[in-house]
Amino acid sequence: MTTESETYDPEARGLPLVAVLLILTVVSGLIDAVAYLGLGQVFTANMTGNIVVLGFAAAGAPGFSVPHTATSLVSFVAGAVAGGRVARRVGDCSRRTWTRLTLATEAVLVGAAAVVAFAAPGTVGTTYTLIALTAFAMGMRNAAVRKLDVSALTTTTVLTMTLTGLAADSRTAGGSGRGAPRRGAAVVAMAAGALLGAWLVLHHGLSVPLLVAAVMTGVLAVTASGRE
């Protein structure tokens, strides 16, 4: 039976964080599809891939750009720094409040990117603006996800380790299988986001998938709870 304290617990109202982070993983795949396919083969959510891309670009591999990749890396780090500073300033607020604040900021940044992509498509300035806005937003989000510390879910990073954990901790490998559902769901969510993003970029350009990402994040900003 539900107690009165549980009924009126503000942290418990809304979408559980596990579901929120899985949906954000879809958004990450979508954002990286936009960046890689539409902004010159660069990542703005997945910095592991971006470091590799930077190496390709520095070696002179065709189709890769050091300035594009460097812009993404610097913007992501700046977003993570900003997210960390905000986290320390509002450290006493609830998980729910912190999550919603961060997601609202991300939705505004990605929404601004969608507006720029619609208003001035195909220009050099637009390319750098979209890279900077989306990478900054992903950096802020990663700082928030790190603060939330939800087991086996990161939304953007280290899918290699997620797959490793999925296999190494499986019953087949003699493990308990703990965390397998979340890890498996994260892999599927990233692939689904990349698929959706790629389809939207190929058929509708850059503004539509960015708008979809902004709307998805905005909905989460008003529905997320503080519980797993």
Residues 6+ apart with CB under 8 A from 168: 175
pLDDT over 90 (residue 59): yes
49 against 37, higher pLDDT: 37
pTM for the model stands at 0.87
- Give me the pLDDT at residue 166, please: 62
Q: Compute, in degrees rounded to 10, the torsion defined by CA atoms 146, 103, 87, 5.
A: -90
Gap between the terminal Cα atoms of the chain: 20
pLDDT over 70 (residue 158): no
Q: Assign 196 a pLDDT band (cuts: 50, 70, 90).
A: very high
110 against 97, higher pLDDT: 110
| Residue 168: Cβ within 10 Å count | 12
What is each CA distance from 161 to 152, 154, 158, in whole angstroms? 10, 11, 5
- Give me the pLDDT at residue 183, please: 75
Handedness of CA 34, 188, 223, 225 (dihedral sign): negative
Distance between CA atoms of 69 and 211, rounded to whole angstroms? 23
Q: Hey, what are 228's tokens?
A: 């797993």
